[in-house]
Amino acid sequence: MPAVSKGDGMRGLAVFISDIRNCKSKEAEIKRINKELANIRSKFKGDKALDGYSKKKYVCKLLFIFLLGHDIDFGHMEAVNLLSSNKYTEKQIGYLFISVLVNSNSELIRLINNAIKNDLASRNPTFMCLALHCIANVGSREMGEAFAADIPRILVAGDSMDSVKQSAALCLLRLYKASPDLVPMGEWTARVVHLLNDQHMGVVTAAVSLITCLCKKNPDDFKTCVSLAVSRLSRIVSSASTDLQDYTYYFVPAPWLSVKLLRLLQCYPPPEDAAVKGRLVECLETVLNKAQEPPKSKKVQHSNAKNAILFETISLIIHYDSEPNLLVRACNQLGQFLQHRETNLRYLALESMCTLASSEFSHEAVKTHIDTVINALKTERDVSVRQRAADLLYAMCDRSNAKQIVSEMLRYLETADYAIREEIVLKVAILAEKYAVDYSWYVDTILNLIRIAGDYVSEEVWYRVLQIVTNRDDVQGYAAKTVFEALQAPACHENMVKVGGYILGEFGNLIAGDPRSSPPVQFSLLHSKFHLCSVATRALLLSTYIKFINLFPETKATIQGVLRAGSQLRNADVELQQRAVEYLTLSSVASTDVLATVLEEMPPFPERESSILAKLKRKKGPGAGSALDDGRRDPSSSDINGGMEPTPSTVSTPSPSADLLGLRAAPPPAAPPAPAGAGNLLVDVFSDGPAAPASLGPTAEEAFLSELEPPAPESPMALLADPAPAADPGPEDVGTPIPEADELLNKFVCKNNGVLFENQLLQIGVKSEFRQNLGRMYLFYGNKTSVQFQSFSPSVVHPGDLQTQLAVQTKRVAAQVDGGAQVQQVLNIECLRDFVTPPLLSVRFRYGGAPQSLTLKLPVTINKFFQPTEMAAQDFFQRWKQLSLPQQEAQKIFKANHPMDAEVTKAKLLGFGSALLDNVDPNPENFVGAGIIQTKALQVGCLLRLEPNAQAQMYRLTLRTSKEPVSRHLCELLAQQF
């Protein structure tokens, strides 16, 4: 090795650095830096041409200044000039400057590209490597356009040097990631796969990274890599290969390459070829065996490298999930690590075992380690290790050990770090619900949660306990008794008051027989907490009180007294005041029968995915950005927004008074008259009332909208609070939709939820519901980068006449979206009359300083406002005949684009919105549907008939509606779907 002197002869640099080091304050440092910057600037600007040495010195100084966190806004041109130098040293420093300081938006790219082009053509491997490194580091689209065609050629050329191939592989990977469209697969792909056979290990190392990325998008093109990777791995693991050169690290042959190969294999299912599979299993067994052998070196580097391979091997075994023998061996190996003195190994073992727990083959084996894991939860000094232990307990939990695990987690919760309490609470709540044999245990557990960590019990959790208690009548009495007891504690958490208030309001009568919990006792217990609670809770309690009046007429006078008190009737909070006024009036004017109807017990909630599970999914992985990933990985929820359901709206006790009327649970989509009836009831009650203005009674529409409103306890008016006018952006804001906008829109004709759009930066998810002529849409914007988006502004634009046809109200969203975060936007939609063009969604933001904009079609099509109609065959034919004018019919004959599966077709038609009518068409192969399109101005009856012809792979679709454009438009929309 050459003796490298400190500063390497560059005195000026050494002086500058020691000056900086001697600076006593930040100000002094900045002053010194500014002085230096001025000096360098004048040198660069000066007339005298700088020699290579000085240029190098100044560039080094600039690099150092940049490292200290100061932006460098000059010198770029000088660096570009260095690129064309013939001296390696100068060229090198020029490239270094550019790859550190120049980002992909620079205007200099064209000049840089020029220099790169020359170096790539130079056939000098050192120059070529520099140029390739630069592309790999900067990787802008312009560079991709300039070089995407050349790089594959360099990569697979027979005469390229090894180091050039290495750089070319990673360079291509960069271009592919940045702009996949510029790197078309071609005949080079097969040759890239064969790089796995390259005799040079460095080339293999680089190639594996490239192949791993490419094969994820084009698995079939790269299938052959599996057998090649297996044979390569096998040669390394068995140390049979002589080509290990110097890639052995502390007696471990090529550890990093082995890890990468094992990772590559995880992109594919187990190999089908028995010989390949046999060879692979042998490899995996060898790795597991080696872990048990005495180490070849006492050095920690040896065991670290060995363990890196071991953990990756276990990941592959878990990925295959098909070899029970290997899975159990993996589990035993991890079990040993659980007690290892190295924290790193304990952490990784816990993490890895977590995935092992979900395999049916190893679940039992994982469970045998429960005591060790519980012990880890109690004694580990590192919070991240404890968190892994909690995750593992959650993963290994089943019916047999649920009580033990839940009680351990509850105990841990008392001392748990604040950062992870909420997650533990969610997990306990989920386990308690999932494995509840008797629901009294479940109720106890949740109340314990509130007692121990009330602050961390989110709404979802206590909503859920209410849902379950409401739906299971065997636990209602117990729940009432338990909350009553819990409320007697001198200090109890506000969440306890909420749960208690709700449950006693619904089921307090079940314990009223006991004189210790007689109605007046229940009331005074609840009311003793009233004054200490927040507005939302007090609002909930007022609802409980009015329910008490119905349940226990003897409390009526007391409660009316409370409602009448000035502190309620004239409360500064609008919601409380309104409730007090309404309830007071309701209790005095309504007859017992009316009261009993209005304040009836809540009907059972529809069964649906647990809202807390959804919340946990969302929390999993920091940042909602990762939650998006989760959704993709989890096969059970193909829809990313499965986890985003605003479920709580079902349980919205704290929401407007409408809840109590049972409006929320009552109207299934097919029964439109119901909410209107219930709404009218309230209006009727008030119409005789002396005090209450009739406008307080929600009409059916308002009730519906508030039903869709996520729980906003503050105010029923929230909906109208900030109605950002949808069409306000000026004309310059209207972008043209991206080319694939129509295709994206088509995906949503028959479904309401899913990923609308995704690119490198942004993912947009949609969840929407429609009822009659109204709809609500949630848009989820996920920032996929780790950089904040600025000036983020999505807006909805109505092209042409659409404004008179469709009203869309949007709420504003925050202008900044942090890296990895997700923001949600709510849209309220009202269909005024039939329409053809969908509204546009225009999203603008700044990413890394560069403005980005994107225009999509919002997935709102006329069929969303479909109301399915059931009718008998003869009615159908009669109506069909009535709509026989030629312009009322639209027909299309088209080729099937998807396999013709009757079940899929049915699902699509139902998703489209019409009812499917059986036994109408004489030919059972055909599909017949009917429905009404609901708009504010008019209703359009629609009949449809779809005739598949399996032989010809064709369909004939006929639409008849009372309105010509609607027929045509529906026909076009639907025809795209098959």
Partner 1 sequence: MIKFFLMVNKQGQTRLSKYYEHVEINKRTLLETEVIKSCLSRSNEQCSFIEYKDFKLIYRQYAALFIVVGVNDTENEMSIYEFIHNFVEVLDEYFSRVSELDIMFNLDKVHIILDEMVLNGCIVETNRARILAPLLILDKMSES
Binders of partner 1 in range 54-113 (CB under 8 A) = 56, 60, 63-64, 66-71, 87-89, 92-93, 96, 99-100, 103-104
Q: Does 785 bind partner 1 (CB under 8 A)?
A: yes
For residue 325, the minimal CB distance to partner 1 (Å) is 24
Supply the minimum distance, in Å, between the C-beta of residue 289 and partner 1: 19
Nearer to partner 1, 68 or 77 (CB): 68
Handedness of CA 639, 643, 649, 655 (dihedral sign): negative
> Distance between CA 254 and CA 369 in Å, rounded?
33
The reply on whether position 883 binds partner 1 by CB under 8 A is no
The single residue listed with the structure tokens 């009727």 is: 684
Tell me which residue of 716, 688, 728, 904 sits closest to 808, measured CA to CA: 728
Question: How many residues are given for the chain?
Answer: 978
Q: Any binding-site annotation on 43? A: yes
For the bound state, the minimum distance from the C-beta of residue 17 to partner 1, rounded and expressed in Å, comes to 6
849 binds partner 1 (CB under 8 A): yes
Under the criterion CB under 8 A, does residue 780 sit at the interface with partner 1?
no
> In the complex with partner 1, which residue's Cβ is closer, 93 or 457?
93
Q: How many helices (H) and strands (E) does the chain have?
A: 43, 16
Establish whether 378 is an annotated binding residue: no
Q: Which residues pair with 940 in a beta bridge?
A: 933
Q: Tell me which amino acid residue 144 is.
A: G
Find the binding residues for partner 1 in span 236-255 (CB under 8 A). Answer: 245-247, 249, 254-255
Name the one residue in this structure whose structure tokens are 């390949």: 276
- By CB under 8 A, tell whether 470 contacts partner 1: no
Contacts of 130 by beta carbon, 8 Å cutoff, 6+ apart: 91, 92, 95, 119
375 forms part of the interface with partner 1 (CB under 8 A):
no
- The answer to whether 60 is annotated as binding is yes
| CA–CA–CA angle 562, 592, 561 (5° rounding) | 10
779 backbone dihedrals φ, ψ, rounded to 5°: -110, 135
| Region binding partner 1 by CB under 8 A among candidate stretches 344-352, 598-606, 609-617, 646-654 | 344-352
Residue 484, interface with partner 1 (CB under 8 A)? no
Which residue from 251, 256, 441, 877 is in contact with partner 1, where contact means CB under 8 A?
256
Q: Which of the residues 718 through 757 are near partner 1 (CB under 8 A)? A: none
Do 599 and 547 touch, CB atoms closer than 8 A? yes
312 binds partner 1 (CB under 8 A): yes
Residue pair 500/483 in contact by the 8 Å Cβ criterion: yes
Of the two residues 89 and 882, which places its CB atom closer to partner 1 in the complex? 89
Instruction: Report in angstroms the alpha-carbon separations of 744 from 337, 737, 822, 856.
Output: 48, 11, 21, 8
Given the rule CB under 8 A, which of 111-119, 160-168, 275-283, 689-697 is the region that contacts partner 1? Answer: 160-168
Which helix (H) or strand (E) segment holds residue 949: the answer is strand 939-949
Under the binding rule (CB under 8 A), the answer on residue 317 touching partner 1 is: no
Q: Which residues, including other chains, have CB under 8 Å from residue 932's CB and lie 6 or more apart?
A: 866, 867, 869, 939, 940, 941, 942
How far is CA 540 from each of CA 193, 602, 679, rounded to the nearest angstrom?
65, 14, 21
Residues forming a β-bridge with 954: 895, 949
Q: Does 219 bind partner 1 (CB under 8 A)?
A: no
Smallest distance from partner 1 to CB 254, Å:
8
The alpha-carbon radius of gyration of the chain (Å, integer) is 34
787 lies in the binding site for partner 1 (CB under 8 A): yes
Of 307, 550, 649, 773, the one binding partner 1 (CB under 8 A) is: 307
- Name the residue nearer to partner 1 (CB basis): 55 or 960: 55
How far apart, in whole angstroms, are the C-alpha atoms of residue 347 and residue 103?
37
Beta bridge partners of 829: 775, 808
Cβ at position 10, least distance to partner 1 in Å: 8
Q: What is the largest CA-CA distance in the chain?
A: 102
Which segment (620-628, 684-692, 866-874, 961-969) binds partner 1 by CB under 8 A? 620-628
Interacting residues with partner 1 between 803 and 822 (CB under 8 A) = 819-820
Residue 384: φ, ψ to 5°: -70, -30
- For residue 719, count other CB atoms closer than 10 A to its CB: 19
H or E segment and range at residue 4:
none
> Using the rule CB under 8 A, which residue among 241, 537, 571, 626 binds partner 1?
626
Cα gap 770→708, rounded to integer Å = 10
- The single residue among 58, 147, 222, 311 that binds partner 1, judged by CB under 8 A, is 311
Query: Secondary structure of the chain: what % helix, strand, coil (to 5)?
Result: 60, 10, 30
Size of the site for partner 1 (CB under 8 A): 92
53 labeled binding residue? yes
Between 520 and 848, CB nearer to partner 1: 848
Q: If binding is defined by CB under 8 A, does position 623 make contact with partner 1?
A: yes
Q: Which stretch binds partner 1 (CB under 8 A): 187-195, 505-513, 622-630, 649-657?
A: 622-630
Please, what is the minimum distance in Å from the beta carbon of residue 598 to partner 1?
49
Cα→Cα distances 375→351, 391, 418, Å: 16, 14, 20
Q: Which is nearer to partner 1, 59 or 405 (CB)?
A: 59
* Residue 381 within binding range of partner 1, rule CB under 8 A: yes
Choose one: 4-12, 142-150, 701-709, 825-833; the region binding partner 1 (CB under 8 A): 4-12
Among 292, 301, 368, 887, binds partner 1 (CB under 8 A): 301
Q: What is the DSSP letter of 590?
A: S
Helices (H), 68-106: 76-83, 88-101
Q: How far apart are CB 89 and partner 1 at their closest, in Å? A: 5
Closest separation in Å from C-beta 656 to partner 1: 38
Contact between 260 and partner 1 by CB under 8 A: the answer reads: yes
Q: Does 284 bind partner 1 (CB under 8 A)?
A: no
12 belongs to an annotated ligand binding site:
yes
| Token couple for 54 | 């000085």
Q: Whole-number minimum distance, CB 163 to partner 1, in Å?
A: 7
DSSP H helical segments within 818-963, as ranges? 873-882, 902-912
CB 266 within 8 A of CB 319: yes
- Determine the interface stretch with partner 1 among 198-206, 431-439, 506-514, 724-732 (rule: CB under 8 A): 198-206
CB of 605 vs partner 1, minimal distance in Å: 34
Tell whether residue 91 is among the known ligand binding residues: no
75 marked ligand binding residue: no
Residue linked to tokens 């599996």 = 226
One character per residue 662-681, x = contact with partner 1 (rule: CB under 8 A): --------------------
Query: What H or E segment, with its residue span, contains residue 611?
Result: helix 611-619
Q: Is 572 in the site for partner 1 (CB under 8 A)?
A: no
Among 171, 389, 428, 452, binds partner 1 (CB under 8 A): 171
| Strands 954-961 and 806-810, sheet pairing | unpaired
Q: Specify the residue, 3 or 49, whose C-beta has the smaller distance to partner 1.
A: 3
Site string for partner 1, 917-946 (x = CB under 8 A): ------------------------------
Shortest distance, position 388 Cβ to partner 1, whole Å: 9
Q: How far apart are CA 291 and CA 911, in angstroms?
A: 54
- Nearer to partner 1 by Cβ, of 209 and 803: the residue is 209
Angstrom distance (rounded) from CA 320 to CA 255? 21
Contact status: 786 vs partner 1 (CB under 8 A): yes
**Of residues 686, 608, 697, 605, the one with CA closest to residue 656:** 697
From 113-121, 169-177, 440-448, 919-927, give the range in contact with partner 1 by CB under 8 A: 169-177
Tell me which residues in 122-141 interact with partner 1 (CB under 8 A): 126, 129, 133, 136-137, 139
As annotated, the binding site includes 11-12, 43, 53, 57-61
